[in-house]
Structure 1
Amino acid sequence: MSIAGPAAASFWSQQQTTLSELLMRAGNQRAARLLSLVPAAELRDADPQSPVPVVLLVRPIFLDSFRSTDLQAIAEQMNQLRSWDTITGHLVTVEPMLADPFARANLGGAGTITIQLREAIADALYPVKSYDLPEVCRALGLSDGGDDEAGASKRSYVRHRILDYTESQLVDLGTRVVEQHYLPELWGLCRSSAPARAACVPRSAI
């Protein structure tokens, strides 16, 4: 049974928010951040006396970011909610999404991660006011530009300045951007592109 399908479009979104808040309160910021990378989930059938199987569906690139301790922490918080089966508890696993809703992931080729990082950085900075964007970009070490250019298209303004960046440079930049302009997609891409680098984890997620 899908818990994010047409019949219950807002259920997973509401539960995801609640679970993230509970995980943060429990001091498990990492699991809370990972949960933000889950656009859908499914309940699977099981023996009535066994924990309810819950499958988190994520983009394939993010699968390796989830550890057993993270999944256990998420399950423990599900066990506390009345909207979930609190009698037998839950067993949480993770699987790749069969239909990936992120079009950029389907581009293929060696440049796919670079393209996704570039787009995620532009998306993360998009909420910045156009008249503030040049200064924000300068503070991040990007080349200078005018207010008129930023006003025409904020995403294009950012893309133009990082068009020639390598994947490593984009990860470095994304790490700095996500500290102040948090975006789950960007955070996940930084972790997936450089999992061994502690700098890719925002301080608030440690």
Structure 2
Amino acid sequence: MAGMGSSKTTIALLFLIVCSVGPSAAVLLSQLPKTLIVTASAKEGEVLHAGKDKITVTWALNESLGASTADSYKTVKVQLCYAPISQKDRKWRKTNDLLKKDKTCQFDVIKTAYPGSGKHEYLVDREVPSASYFVRAYVLDASNTQVAFGQTTDKDKMTNIFTIVGISGRTVGIEISAGVFSAFSVAALIFFYVVETRKKNN
């Protein structure tokens, strides 16, 4: 009887683990239908600058598909994704078909309720590093699980790739400190100039 009780406890624990992990843990990109048409204003080979330039992104359901295709669609999540050339020898950007472990898309552009089609102007975040990118949009259902996607590039992620130049090495804090120091330096120069001028006049 004790053995049966132990088995029941083990089964119950496994059930709880499966429930807590949720269905999204097993979602594979290769199994998701590509139902969205996604475009970006950034063109092939274009160079953009983090914290300065903007990208206009649009998404819409492929017109060749029936409207019922989107019955379970609740949310659209658009992201900047690394192109293969910027993933080479960088494990922290590695692509994994299992989306829970995938590191291709790390920068959110927008997450919004699914309206059928949409458009968003994105100011490239200052934290985006220098690399080559494309844009991908995931569709999520009511459980926040990816159920479909679309992207601005082809299957091999080789077309419509653009470059973003990041802000190298200077954080906001450093920039503020530099500004304060510069202002102090100017004030100090003026002060010493006035002192020296008075000495000469005396």
Q: TM class, shorter-chain normalised?
A: under 0.3
Higher relative contact order, structure no. (Cα contacts within 8 Å, ≥ 6 residues apart) = 2
Query: When you count strand as a share of all residues, which structure comes out higher?
Result: 2
TM-score computed with the length of structure 2 as normaliser: 0.20
Select the structure of larger CA radius of gyration: 2
